[in-house]
Structure 1
Amino acid sequence: MGSLIFLGSAFAQSKPSDTIQLKPIQVAPHTYFVQGFPEMGSSANQNFISNAGFVVTPGGVVVVDALGSPILAQKLIAEVKKITPQKIVALIVSHYHADHVYGLQEFKKIGAKIYAQGEGRNYLSSETAKQRLVASRIDFAPWVNANTKLISADVWVDLKTKLTIGGVDFFVSRVGPAHAPEDLMVYVPSEKVLFAGDLVFRGRIPFVGNADSKGWLIALDEIERLNPNIVIPGHGNYSVKPAEDIAFTRNYLKYLRQSMSQAAINLDPFEDAYKQADWSEYEGMPLFRAANRMNAYNVYLSIQAE
């Protein structure tokens, strides 16, 4: 019996302490967001590396994105309860990347209706999604574990839909393939707020992954045409000067394409093109070392496929 008690206490000591707090920031009369860390996901940060936001209406709360682990989603739900007695009635997924969707099951449990773009079904059924979850159960343990599931949407959006909840309109539009095949953006005209998902990054190097960089640049033009007062990006602080902050993501993508295009088209070695590029504008930013080379290589490959 004594040895069992010892093992139990040893296990308790080995579990990472829970020090992560979510602090909603009010950006418009009824709109709030929480800001993830400009880091790689880890057990220490509970995969809190992306943003989520919510709008309080007389008919319930609409949340955009579910964060990167179930415990973060639980904390977000608790923070919403501190602000309003209204129930969370809907959750809109900007795209099916792990740091935005591993909290979905907690919103499902409380009865929120989940909306996502139809291309997300391809991700959910993919081997990539399954293997990523297997790895995340190790990388983000114990916060992502065997009980963490991939959750499908209740409503699959094709191109556009308008949700009206409590008299507030939410214009949900497909803008992919861009950062992901299933990108959605959410515009709330009464708040003049746009939830841009990972179409906009602030304060860190964007994650390009297998993005369609050409489609992404078109999507940024679409955001500017809406002329919102506030943009809530997928990563980084909210923007009160959307044109300036969109320019950062746009210029980075354009530079990736410019610096990789000739080598990609001529089938010259990627390493040579990467060494010849001038990264001085970006190399001091968070996640440059983690993401930049991979971003450049993916753009190099995608240009060859265009």
Structure 2
Amino acid sequence: MIGLLRNSIGVLIGSLFFFGSTFAQIAAPDNILLRPIQVAPHTYFVQGRPEMGSSANQNFISNAGFVVTPGGVVVVDALGSPILAQKLIAEIKKVTNQKVVAVIVSHYHADHVYGLQEFKKIGATIYAQGEGRNYLSSETAKQRLIASRIDFSPWVNANTKLISADVWIDQKTKLTIGGIDFYITRVGPAHAPEDLMVYVPSEKVLFAGDLVFRGRIPFVGNADSKGWLHALDEIEQLKPNIVIPGHGAYSVNPAQDIAFTRSYLKYLRESMTPAAINMDPFEEAYKQADWSEYEGMPLFRAANRMNAYNVYLSIQAE
């Protein structure tokens, strides 16, 4: 009887171990809905939440978009977890019977790429800027994924992989699908070393990735703030009617919204430059700066000090 009991317990434990991710999936509430917003005749996007990534929001903190063409659907960015990518694919199917044929990666940050494997499964070709190869092979990418499997569990887990592009882009490229032209421009290093922006002239829509933020404090991280300011000038020269940013609502007044990102970056540089050049302590420079214009915005507390410190360090390295 004791032996039988032990065997039963062993089977139960083994089953729990084998199906652990399934039980976790069941236990975790799934109340995240994606609602595509149509911004042009054939262009849609889904808007991430102005929050830090978490298990509760499935890392749904960034935007993704798609354009429906007669030759298939082109998606820009893949969202921050496989479950979100699955939901986006399901929403696309509600809009069109066309298959997803291409995914363009604006940059290899976790909240934009952890869904890539789901698009790979359905046969989409993935395009990204060539510098993304360096990120994929880096220790930073490896450690970030390890941490994300904990922070965003069960939605990001042991089955979540980093996916390489099928086509690496190293210069301005015109991709034509179903008669629709997509101009893919390498910019930066700016927000990230591998930034891309995607302009669809027939829609007058620009997918700007994280070069433009709306409704929240931008994430600077290890950005090249000087290169980022140059990238904003490139965006303005295109004169799009609509800009879909990497975070926040779409813009029908691009000049005004580009100005917000530009003014924030400029203020970071202006407030940190004297201390960085003179090697004065960062904390003193941060306390002396006037953050009143930004402190009421979402993610100010989470991101602003880090942004300022990274700019302080980068100016010293320029």
Give the structure-1-normalised TM-score. Answer: 0.97
CA distance in 2, matches of 1:181, 1:12: 36
Paired position in structure 2 for 1:46: 58
Aligned to 1:304: 316
- What is the letter of the counterpart of residue 81 of structure 1? K
Contact 1:15/1:142 (8 A) holds in 2: no
Deviation for aligned residue 1:176: 1.2
Residue-by-residue CA offset, 1:218-249 (whole Å, 9 max, x unaligned): 00000000000000000000000000000000
TM-score, length-normalised on structure 2? 0.93
Instruction: Please list the CA deviations of residues 183-232 of structure 1 after superposition, one character each: whole Å capped at 9, or x if unmatched.
Output: 00000000000000000000000000000000000000000000000000
Aligned to 2:74: 62
Alignment of 1:30-45 (within 5 A): 30-45=42-57
* Per-residue CA distance 1:105-136 (angstroms, 9 max, x = gap): 00000000000000000000000000000000
Corresponding position of 1:161: 173
Q: Which moved more, 1:224-233 or 1:11-20?
A: 11-20
1:84 corresponds in structure 2 to 96
Structure 2 matches for 1:8-157, cutoff 5 A? Answer: 11=23, 15-157=27-169
Structure 2 residue 184 is matched with structure 1 residue 172 = yes
Aligned position for 2:288: 276
Cα distance in 1, alignment partners of residues 219 and 175 from structure 2: 29
| Contact kept? 2:191, 2:228, Cα under 8 Å | yes
Aligned to 1:258: 270
**Structure 1 residues 25 and 147: alpha-carbon distance in aligned structure 2, compared to 1, 3 A threshold:** same
Q: Which moved more, 1:12-21 or 1:52-61?
A: 12-21
Could you tell me whether the CA contact under 8 Å between 2:25 and 2:155 is conserved in 1?
A: no
The answer to whether 1:194 aligns with 2:206 is yes
CA distance in 1, matches of 2:222, 2:25: 39
Distance in 2 (CA, whole Å) between partners of 1:213 and 1:99 is 20
Aligned residues of 2:107 and 2:128 also touching (Cα < 8 A): yes
Question: What is the root-mean-square deviation of aligned Cα atoms in Å?
Answer: 1.8
CA contact (8 A) 2:190 2:228 kept: yes
Question: How far has the Cα of 1:12 moved from its partner?
Answer: 5.7
Runs of 4+ in 1 over 2 A off after TM superposition: 1-15
Q: What is the identity, as a one-letter code, of the residue corresponding to 1:202?
A: R
C-alpha displacement at 1:15, in angstroms?
2.3
Call closer, same or farther: CA 1:11–1:114 in 2, change over 3 Å: closer
The structure having more radius of gyration, on CA atoms, is 2
What is the distance in 1 between the residues matched to 2:24 and 2:45? 32
Do 2:129 and 2:186's aligned partners in 1 also have CA atoms closer than 8 Å?
Answer: yes
Equivalents in 2 of 1:268, 1:18: separation in Å? 48
Matched, 1:216 2:228: yes
Does the CA contact (< 8 Å) of 2:41 and 2:203 recur in 1?
yes
Change (3 A) 1:297 1:133: same
* Cα distance change on mapping 1:36 and 1:13 into 2, 3 Å: closer
Q: Is the 8 A contact 1:93 1:115 kept in 2?
A: yes
Alignment-mate amino acid for residue 15 of structure 1: A
Per-residue CA shift, 1:129-169, capped at 9, x if unaligned? 00000000000000000000000000000021100000000
Deviations 1:41-75 (A, max 9, x none): 00000000000000000000000000000000000
- Partners in 2 of 1:11 and 1:143 — Cα distance? 12
Letter in 2 for 1:302: S
Counterpart among 230, 249, 254 of residue 237 in structure 1: 249
Deviations 1:253-300 (A, max 9, x none): 000000000000000000000000000000010000000000000000
Change (3 A) 1:215 1:13: closer
> Shift of the alpha carbon at 1:16?
1.5
**2:104/2:127 contact within 8 Å kept:** yes
